[in-house]
Structure 1
Amino acid sequence: MCEPDTRLISGLCFPICSRFEELYASIMFCSEIYAESRPELFSGTRTHSSDRTMDLGLAEDHFSRPGSFVASDIEQLKRAIEECKKLILELPEHSERQKDTVVKLIHLRLKLQELKDPEEDEPNLRTLLEHRFSKEKSKSVKQTCDKCSTIIWGLIQTWYTCTGCYYRCHSKCMNLIIKPCVRSKVSHQSAYELSICPEIGLDRQDYRCAECRTPISLRGVPSEARQCDYTGQYYCSTCHWNDTAIVPARVIHNWEFEPRKVCRSSMRYLALMMSRPVLRLKEINPLLFNFVEELVEIRKLRQDILLMKPYFITCKEAMEARLLLQLQDRQHFVENDDMYSLQDLIDISSGRLSCSLTEIHTTFAKHIKLDCDRCQAKGFVCELCKEGDILFPFDSHTSVCYDCSAVFHRDCYYDNSTTCPRCARMTDRKQDDESDVKDA
């Protein structure tokens, strides 16, 4: 026998075991099976002698399918629910009769909700404060309304989710929403707060929540003040649920990835910004590369991939094989080598990005140097020593001329005191062309 605790069902507190929560969660899926296996619970027959059975209103067919409900109106259902609550309190705790009565109470509440809030009256799509709300069909009971902070009982309540920022709320709470969609903020302001917890103090907030303006204080009277580590501002318990998230400013300045407490709007904003490449590390904190070796390794791999890109966009076989699509989740890796997303930095810290990027780098190099004759033909021979294998700009032992992009052995390039042979030829050719124009 499980230990009793106090749960709130249909506005009434009474001792109830945890099995009732399971009954409630599964009632939608097994009510018909349960009715067939225990017909005495769902009929007007009195299996237990009680003078109050008829007073409960259970003799009528409250538990049939929704379309066949014609016998009771809303007032009769309300009276039956109240009588059912009283009977639950009077019955012995954890007894079979109490459990059966709870199941009956749930069915009565379902019927009442169907009459008061017909599902067909609720639109499938609603737009409010740039939110695009879509009516949910899920009957899960584990969701929480972001407006009133109470559980969404999917079995008996209509609820919506914003397709942009995943804001969830009851249908009845829709008109009370004051928070605009975070997705619009991401679209119009794709930049992080890069100061670590920029606190301004409760007095600067007039001792009110930074979002809904509810009065708050550090003493919890009338409402507890909770600080968001991302914005540095204070929020009430309705706007700040003690959710945690990795804060970009702490990552960039301290290479710290410990999740910190943030408000609900900051949590959604950080989640939507997670994969956006908006961090230019060499400008924000260039010293970070001196202390994090993994960053240096990733930067070199990204530079090599950018050198490989011209081979692929001019190679028919590479285009057919769609080699560059191996980086479709990190498209910015084939566009530049200095922009990072917060997800990139998290994966660098964990070592996942180094492993996956090294594997992709190996695949790319294999195609250019071994598998494709056309790409091999675009290699270079060191014009300084005129010896050795064919060279490519992404080889680790090579150096590239910054002016003409010619490739040489690294040792040859730095030991040679003369200018680049290719640059010299190009200069001579340019002078000859200019002299021919003058002669003409």
Structure 2
Amino acid sequence: MEYDERLAHFRQTRLNPFDRGEEDYDPQDGKPAPEQEPRAELSGTGSSDRTMDLGLAEDHFSRPMGSCVDSDIEKLKLAIEECKKLILELPEHSEKQKDTVVKLIHLRLKLQELKDPEEDEPNLRILLEHRFSKEKSKSVKQTCDKCSAIIWGLIQTWYTCTGCYYRCHSKCLNLINKPCVRSKVSHQSEYELSICPEIGLDRQDYRCSECRTPVSLRGVPSEARQCDYTGQYYCTTCHWNDTAIIPARVIHNWEFEPRKVCRSSLRYLALMMPRPVLKLKEINPLLFNFVEELVEIRKLRQDILLMKPYFITCKEAMEARLLLQLQDRQHFVENDDMYSLQDLIDISSGRLSCSLTEIHTTFAKHIKLDCEKCQAKGFVCELCKEGDILFPFDSHTSVCQDCSAVFHRDCYYDNSTTCPKCTRMTGRQQDEPFDIQTR
């Protein structure tokens, strides 16, 4: 009872700081002038009594011990509703309206805090192959992928899947019905290679392809949004109008304009982007006839594969870890025909050509100039027996497909006889049975 009397006395003797004008303060000590009466609200719609009814003058952020949480929640709800009405009544873009909006935000945050009190949440949760890790960041503003509401890190606990980066409130964890996209990437590492394979909303029974919520093209009861990657329709909860580059459009049309995709497709494409799963020779071999950059990159990759045996058998190259310069594109030292979507994007922008040319120059410099052991593994053209030492990755050379001997390109194609090295090897194989019989 003593607390209520002191609170009432405090309300009667103090004005709401949002309602004070410059004339209400004493310039010396900053206190309100004692002889002035409290002024009414702007636009003549309220008074200082109404302000106190809103709860704006009450400190909701430091309540006494033992107070009832349920009653505080009801009071905060009433204060929020009154605050909303007051914002509509105040003049637009006025200082009082801005201050009242700030106070409304604070009241809503406090209400959310009372509804979702901080609990000892586990640091790791595993649901539907998701590995949810409890986030500790408080200043980052995120959106819950389940309820589409804002995650207020200052007062709410939230989790992020370490596999597909699915984010949600702790209270939404048990409501999740979407499995982790990373599991799909692990078991089915391939793209949809048809451009927007639409089957029609009627084939989906006018329901969201993912959560089965009723949708329609007219937006009643929910708007149907098409995913350009799958061609199917989704509700506004599963499709946020995010955009991504579509692999099928890149491969068939060399088109890199981002298109609207659903949330699950967005995560799938993001996880698949660095994976080398596109074999362009089989999917669209004509692409090399129209995109010169692809031909250039293919030649650089073929040269790097020819340089790889030199580095594997060279101690200096292994100590210098030259091949680690391609650790972000490991498939470049394994084959020359597999590409990732990120490779194609970098080829289109020109970044890959510049970086790969620089690496190619570094590798060639080590083999031909810096390392004597690698230089000793060069070839002399056995057809003309002239010129400098040849290497299989030189632009003016040709390599025998059978014995890997290196010749000048002009000498190799002008000579109508077989490869000299292959001839010697064939002669040796024929002489071995004769030597065995004579013994």
TM interval, short-chain normalised: 0.7 to 0.9
CA spacing shift, 1:312–1:63, aligned 2, 3 Å: same
Give, in whole Å, the separation in 2 of the partners of 1:49 and 1:37. 8
- Any idea what the Cα deviations from partners look like across 1:162-204, whole Å, max 9, x if unmatched? 1111112222322222211111110110000111111111221
Check conservation: 2:399, 2:406, Cα contact below 8 A: yes
CA spacing shift, 1:5–1:313, aligned 2, 3 Å: farther
Check conservation: 1:344, 1:353, Cα contact below 8 A: yes
Deviation at 1:388, TM superposition (A): 0.5
Give, in whole Å, the separation in 2 of the partners of 1:208 and 1:360. 51
Give, in whole Å, the separation in 1 of the partners of 2:41 and 2:435. 109
CA spacing shift, 1:49–1:322, aligned 2, 3 Å: same
Q: Secondary structure of 2:198's match? A: coil
- Any idea what the Cα deviations from partners look like across 1:123-179, whole Å, max 9, x if unmatched? 222221111122223334642222222333333333222111111222232222221
Runs of 4+ in 1 over 6 A off after TM superposition: 3-8, 18-24, 36-41, 65-72
Give, in whole Å, the separation in 1 of the partners of 2:355 and 2:20. 46
- Any idea what the Cα deviations from partners look like across 1:254-295, whole Å, max 9, x if unmatched? 111121221111111111100100011111111111221111
Deviation at 1:379, TM superposition (A): 0.3
Structure (1 or 2) with the larger CA radius of gyration: 2
CA spacing shift, 1:318–1:21, aligned 2, 3 Å: farther
CA spacing shift, 1:62–1:75, aligned 2, 3 Å: same
Q: Which sections of structure 1, spanning at least 5 residues, go unmatched?
A: 9-17, 25-35, 42-46
- Any idea what the Cα deviations from partners look like across 1:37-83, whole Å, max 9, x if unmatched? 99999xxxxx9993356555577654359999999955555555556
Check conservation: 1:55, 1:80, Cα contact below 8 A: yes
Q: Secondary structure of 1:132's match? A: strand
CA spacing shift, 1:351–1:58, aligned 2, 3 Å: closer
CA spacing shift, 1:409–1:20, aligned 2, 3 Å: farther
- Any idea what the Cα deviations from partners look like across 1:369-408, whole Å, max 9, x if unmatched? 0011110000001111111000000000111111111111
Check conservation: 1:110, 1:155, Cα contact below 8 A: no
Check conservation: 1:165, 1:272, Cα contact below 8 A: yes
Q: What is the aligned partner in structure 1 of residue 150 from structure 2?
A: 151
State how many pairs are aligned: 413
CA spacing shift, 1:370–1:230, aligned 2, 3 Å: same
Deviation at 1:335, TM superposition (A): 0.3
CA spacing shift, 1:393–1:243, aligned 2, 3 Å: same
CA spacing shift, 1:4–1:153, aligned 2, 3 Å: farther
TM-score by length of 2: 0.82
Check conservation: 2:200, 2:232, Cα contact below 8 A: yes
| More displaced 10-residue stretch of structure 1: 92-101 or 225-234 | 92-101
CA spacing shift, 1:207–1:108, aligned 2, 3 Å: closer
| More displaced 10-residue stretch of structure 1: 65-74 or 407-416 | 65-74
Give, in whole Å, the separation in 1 of the partners of 2:421 and 2:38. 89
Give, in whole Å, the separation in 1 of the partners of 2:130 and 2:218. 34
Check conservation: 2:41, 2:47, Cα contact below 8 A: no
Check conservation: 2:217, 2:224, Cα contact below 8 A: yes
Check conservation: 2:80, 2:107, Cα contact below 8 A: yes
Please provide the CA RMSD for this pair: 6.7
Deviation at 1:306, TM superposition (A): 0.1
TM-score by length of 1: 0.82
Q: What is the aligned partner in structure 1 of residue 39 from structure 2?
A: 38
Check conservation: 1:141, 1:155, Cα contact below 8 A: no
Deviation at 1:108, TM superposition (A): 4.2
Check conservation: 2:90, 2:97, Cα contact below 8 A: yes
CA spacing shift, 1:207–1:107, aligned 2, 3 Å: closer
CA spacing shift, 1:190–1:373, aligned 2, 3 Å: same
Give, in whole Å, the separation in 1 of the partners of 2:437 and 2:251. 58
Check conservation: 2:118, 2:157, Cα contact below 8 A: yes
Give, in whole Å, the separation in 2 of the partners of 1:220 and 1:312. 62
Deviation at 1:228, TM superposition (A): 1.3
Q: Which sections of structure 2, spanning at least 5 residues, go unmatched?
A: 8-18, 26-36
CA spacing shift, 1:358–1:237, aligned 2, 3 Å: same
Deviation at 1:355, TM superposition (A): 1.1
Give, in whole Å, the separation in 2 of the partners of 1:285 and 1:22. 77
CA spacing shift, 1:48–1:209, aligned 2, 3 Å: closer
Q: What is the aligned partner in structure 2 of residue 272 from structure 1?
A: 271
Question: Paired residue for 1:65, among 63, 68, 73?
Answer: 63
- Any idea what the Cα deviations from partners look like across 1:190-224, whole Å, max 9, x if unmatched? 00011111111122111211111112222222222
CA spacing shift, 1:368–1:171, aligned 2, 3 Å: same
